[in-house]
Structure 1
C-alpha cells in the first residue's frame, strides 16, 4: 500500500515545477479579461524525420478557471497515433509503514525552525511588501506568519491566481490522457517516481534545515502582481492559440528561486537518487521521443509550454540532431 505525504513530497514537488512548469515576466498592460467557454488551445508543434512525425502539445498552467478545453485536432491526431508520450512529472511516495514513522515528525513541518515568525526571518522591506499583499489576497491569518517562506509563497501565489480568475488545476492533461485511453494508444511515461527509504529522517532533515527559501519568497513578493498580469495575458493567448502573443512573453525568475530553495534543503541534498532524478528526467523524455520517432509513423507527445519554447529545451535538442521542427502558426 502506498500513501502520498505532503512533506517532503510537497517541497520536492516544487523542484519538478522548476524543471517542467512555468512563470512569466511582466506583460503588456490593458488585458484584464479572462476567457471563458470552450476553447481549443494552441496548435501543435511538429517534429519529423522522413515520413515519421511526432506532434507535440504545449501544456500550460495557469489557465482561465471558467474555460473548457476541447481540441478536435488533438483528438484526431491521437486517434491515428501509435504512441503517446505524456508530460513528465516527478512523484515521491512513502509506504504505509514509512508514513506511520513520519507521524512523530509531521507536526509543525510547515513552520519555521525554532518557532521563528516571518518577521524574524525576512528582510524588513520584503516583510513590509508581504503585509500589503497578504491583506489584498489572503486577509487575516495569524497562523501563516509562523510558516516557512516557501510555503507562504505558494499560498500567496495560489490566492493571487484565484483572485484573478486563474487556476493551476486545468484538467487538460487528464483529458488528453482519457482520449489516449479511448483510442487504446500505447502510453510511454518519462516520469520519475520513487519511494523514500527513510521518510522520517527526510522529514526531520527538512524541518531542521536552515531557511534557504527566503529568495523564493522575495521573488514571489516582488514579482507577484506583474507575473499575474503576464499569466492572464498568456492564459488568454493559450486559450485561443495566439502564437504571436504566446511567444512574446518571457519566463521569469520566481520558479528558479523556489527550485533552488528546495535543492538547498538538507532533505534534498542528502538524497543522491533525487539529485540524479532531477538531472535525468529531461534526458529520459528525449530518449523516448527519439525511439518513438524511429518506430512510429505518428506519435503524440506533451511538454510544458516553457520547455517547448526553451532555446535549450528538448525540441531545440531534436532540431540540433537533424530533426525538422515546425512551430504552429
Structure 2
C-alpha cells in the first residue's frame, strides 16, 4: 500500500545535468570490496561547517561502502539534514480506507494495454528489453508506461550487477543512531486531505509518460557501460571523473509526467514542488550552519555538481563552498 502511494502520490526529485555525455571506454568489471566513495564538500561560515556527502545511484552490488572521513565528520556533528524530498502521509487508518481505491492504480485507464498507449517504434524497442530483463509477464502489459519502465529499469540494473545503493543510507542511519545525532527533515509535506479523490482522479486520467518510457529504454539500450563508469568513479572517489561525466537521467521525464498530470494541476499544494523542496533544503542548511559548529547532510551528486546545484545556492548567499581534496 505504501509503495503504491509513494509511486502515485509523491514525486521523486532529480536534477539531471544538461550536458552531452562524453564517450567512455566500456567498463565491464565493477569494483568490489570496501570503497570510500567521494570525499566531503565543505560549506562554511566562520568556524561553523556543514559537511555534504554526495551520493550516486546505481552502485556496484558487491561493493561495501566505508569511509572513515565521512564517519568521523558525521559522528562529530550536532545535526543531520535528511536528503530533500516531498512527503505524502495519509496515516495508517486513512490508508486502510483507501485500499479498495488503490486496486488497479498501476493499470492503464479503460483497460488499455502498453501497446495501445505508446508509439509503435517504442513498443518494438520494449519487447526485446522486456524479454532480456523481465521475461514472460503478461500483467505488465496492462501497466502505465511509467510503471512498466520502472520495473524494467530495476530488472536491468540487477542483471548488470548494479543496485540502488541503499547500503550507504543504512550505514549512515546506523552512525546517526549510535551517536544520537539530531535529525532534521528538510523536505516538504504535501497536502493529502483529498487523498482518495487524488487516487480516483489518477486512475481515470492519462499521463504524458511516453518520454519517461522511451528515455528508460534508451538508458538500458546504450547507458549500461556508462553507468558502470560512473558507479566506479563514485566508489573510487574520483572527483575529476565525477565532474567530467554527465548524469543522463530518465527520472526528469518521469517526474514531469507526474507533475504535469491532470490529477495534480488543480491542487495548489502540488505546484512548484521541485522549487519548494530546494528552497526548504537551503533554508534548513542555513539554519544548521548558523546553529551548530558542525552539521552533516547527504545530497545526490546531481544536486551538487553544476551551476544550478543546491550548494551553488548557498554560495550565492555568501557561504564558502569547498570541494573535496
Report the TM-score when normalising by structure 2.
0.92
How far apart, CA to CA, are the structure 1 residues paired with 2:103 and 2:80?
A: 41
**Aligned pairs for 1:8-87 within 5 A:** 8-13=5-10, 15-18=11-14, 25=21, 28-87=24-83
Aligned residues: 324
**Aligned pairs for 1:93-242 within 5 A:** 93-194=89-190, 196-242=192-238
How far is 1:82 from its partner?
Answer: 2.2
Give the SS at the match of 2:87: strand
- 112-121 or 176-185, larger mean C-alpha shift: 176-185
How far is 1:110 from its partner?
Answer: 1.1
How far is 1:263 from its partner?
Answer: 1.1
How far is 1:303 from its partner?
Answer: 1.0
Distance 1:271 1:27, change over 3 A: farther
How far is 1:26 from its partner?
Answer: 6.6
Match of 1:319 in 2: 315
In the alignment, structure 1 segments of 5+ residues that lack a partner are none
How far apart, CA to CA, are the structure 1 residues paired with 2:50 and 2:92?
A: 40
Aligned-pair Cα RMSD in Å: 2.2
How far apart, CA to CA, are the structure 2 residues paired with 1:59 and 1:291?
A: 22
Asked if the contact 2:108–2:143 (Cα under 8 Å) also holds between the matched residues in 1, the reply is: yes
Report the TM-score when normalising by structure 1.
0.91
Equivalent in 74, 85, 88 of residue 89 of structure 1: 85
In the alignment, structure 2 segments of 5+ residues that lack a partner are none
Distance 1:190 1:146, change over 3 A: same
Asked if the contact 1:5–1:93 (Cα under 8 Å) also holds between the matched residues in 2, the reply is: no
Asked if the contact 1:46–1:326 (Cα under 8 Å) also holds between the matched residues in 2, the reply is: yes
Distance 1:20 1:299, change over 3 A: farther
